[in-house]
Amino acid sequence: MPFLVQATIDDHTLAVTTETAKEAFAKAVEWHVVERFNEISISDGARSYSIAEFSSIMALREIANTVEAAAEPGLKVKGK
């Protein structure tokens, strides 16, 4: 799924499309830290997120995927 990263600098909008969430997050952080762009957002096509929101959403999705995979028959959950 493609992700759109947008930022504003001096009343101009910059945008880049990435193929993965990891690439989108890396570009957003680069623009925030290195380039010091303002108003950075990451869009998944359905919604736009700030960098902090996007990192939280991606972490929650990863946790959900891990829990779902552990619940599949035949998989042993660590500690059980």
Q: What is the pLDDT of residues 42-68, one digit of tens each?
A: 999 999 999 999 999 999 999 999 999
Which one-letter amino acid corresponds to residue 16? Answer: V
Question: 4 forms bridges with which residues in the sheet?
Answer: 17, 43
Residue identified by tokens 């359905």 is 46
Q: Structure pTM?
A: 0.80
Residue 78 has pLDDT above 70, yes or no: no
Residue 79 has pLDDT above 70, yes or no: no
Give residue limits of the domains in the chain.
Answer: 3-71
CA–CA dist 22, 58 (Å, integer): 9
Query: Regarding predicted confidence, which is higher, 75 or 26?
Result: 26
Average pLDDT, stretch 1-17?
A: 93
Query: Regarding predicted confidence, which is higher, 74 or 7?
Result: 7
